Structure 1
Amino acid sequence: MGTPLGTPTEQATEVIDRLSEEYPDPEISLNFSNRLELLVAVVLSAQCTDERVNKETAHLFEKYQTAEDYANADEAELAEDLNSITYFNSKAGYIKSAAATILEEHDGEVPDTMAELTDLSGVGRKTANVVLQHAHDITEGIVVDTHVQRLSRRLGITEEERPEAIEQDLMPVVPREHWKNYTHWLIAHGRATCTARNPDCEDCIVEDICPSSKLDHDVDLADGSEW
């Protein structure tokens, strides 16, 4: 078991210093070429791997290119186009509904505020944060995906369990200029080293300050998606 630093702020700062050196060029792993594609990809990524989403969207984005295309799509056909994605029937409904709202209320353009994004079907705060950060270059919060949940708790930066509560804990202790990359650093480390079931504590660059190091139990409070 490692020994965490005195306060959550000190702990978060040290974690950021180390992970930023280990993963100097963090990037989003979903493939997209415009704001609508990103929105669709993030909705699809709930409880589904980014790798699977990218395979599906490779053909999906050729068939559906505008909000109007999605809004006017036959929902059963759209669902069939998504049938390798988890909960594809529900997600088809969300995407069709969200596209209709974008078409009717936002002139076919993906909105750029948290309130307007979270009013769309299938879009919660996490999805909205991703779209704001990567489509509009606006950072209003921290994206809390499964890796951020798991690692932030394991590292002793938060004791909260729900993504929304974790985000509220993180925002005061993570410097605002790092809000966007904090997510990517923890995702990279979560995939490479601090995995859900078999964390490689021996090869972990934050092992000495991690209170969960060398424990047998797995702290995995995933909400499903990688984003």
Structure 2
Amino acid sequence: MELFKENPNWAENLKPLIAKYKGKQHPLEYQNTYQLLVMVILSAQDSDANINKIAPALFEAYPNMESLAVSNIEALIPHISKVRNFVTKASWLIEIAQTIKEDKNIPLTMQGLTALKGVGRKSTNVIMRETKQPAEGIIADLHVIRVAPRIAIIPEANDGNKVEKLLMQALPKEIWGEIGMAISFLGRETCRPTNPKCPECPIETDCQYPLKTI
């Protein structure tokens, strides 16, 4: 079924959603920018819950970029061995640490962050949002990829970069910084893959999802 219909009023219609989640911290339980960067890299193709579980011991062993920079892949692996693709991610983290050297050198721009190993646009948008940088894109995680077409902001697309591009075309830049995470939280909490809680949705009256049977 084709659900998508062009709607020029989405910027206005999404205001209640943004108001509900504006400023809410990402589910990764980080304490500073260094931890955020490391956890975002580790969370690729893994769950935030799993990364939160291994993080305390990891950061006890490696409290900052300086400590990671003087380590090596073999020493790091035991601390992240329960993370998916841990060998590759260990090599990324060591290379980043040896390049950046100190926490204060962590870049906070799209160009600077995407130049780092294992950091794509989605991860960069998360880091920039959490560190309150001016948005250069829109977070398009798995929840956004699923929910944005479902509620008909954009047409169906399975690729995160494509979804981000479509959202950037559909929505004004002044809401880029919050809308991606807001849609992500909506997908996590309310607009579930099955049995969505439509009556609890702050944008129910504007959503075009046809199965509002709850």
TM above 0.5, one fold? yes
**1:210 offset after TM fit, Å?**
3.0
**1:157 offset after TM fit, Å?**
1.4
Moved over 6 A (4+): none
Supply the distance in 1 between the matched residues of 2:72 and 2:23 (Cα, whole angstroms). 40
- Aligned twin of 1:152: 148
1:60 and 1:99, CA in 2 relative to 1: closer, same or farther beyond 3 A? same
**1:184 offset after TM fit, Å?**
2.4
Supply the distance in 2 between the matched residues of 1:98 and 1:168 (Cα, whole angstroms). 27
Query: For 2:44, which of 43, 46, 60 is the aligned residue?
Result: 46
TM-score (norm 1): 0.80
120-129 vs 157-166, which deviates more? Answer: 157-166
Supply the distance in 2 between the matched residues of 1:77 and 1:195 (Cα, whole angstroms). 39
- Aligned twin of 2:119: 123
User: 5+ unaligned residues in a row in structure 2: which ranges?
Assistant: none
- Aligned twin of 1:83: 81
Query: For 1:110, which of 106, 109, 125 is the aligned residue?
Result: 106
Given that 2:25 and 2:130 are in contact with CA atoms closer than 8 Å, whether structure 1 keeps it comes out as no
1:188 and 1:69, CA in 2 relative to 1: closer, same or farther beyond 3 A? same
**Equivalent residues, number:** 211
Supply the distance in 1 between the matched residues of 2:145 and 2:94 (Cα, whole angstroms). 29
3-state secondary structure, aligned to 2:9: helix
- Aligned twin of 1:188: 185
TM-score (norm 2): 0.84
3-state secondary structure, aligned to 1:9: coil
**1:109 offset after TM fit, Å?**
1.3
Supply the distance in 2 between the matched residues of 1:69 and 1:204 (Cα, whole angstroms). 44
Query: For 1:37, which of 32, 35, 38 is the aligned residue?
Result: 35
One-letter amino acid of the counterpart of residue 172, structure 1: Q
One-letter amino acid of the counterpart of residue 9, structure 2: E
**1:192 offset after TM fit, Å?**
1.5
- Aligned twin of 1:170: 167
3-state secondary structure, aligned to 1:182: helix
Supply the distance in 1 between the matched residues of 2:96 and 2:132 (Cα, whole angstroms). 18
CA RMSD of aligned residues (A): 2.7
200-209 vs 169-178, which deviates more? Answer: 200-209
Deviation track 1:155-190 (CA, whole Å, cap 9, x = no partner) reads 111123311121111123323232122122212211
148-157 vs 180-189, which deviates more? Answer: 180-189
User: 5+ unaligned residues in a row in structure 1: which ranges?
Assistant: 216-227
Q: Identity across aligned pairs (percent)?
A: 33
Supply the distance in 1 between the matched residues of 2:73 and 2:37 (Cα, whole angstroms). 18
- Aligned twin of 2:136: 140
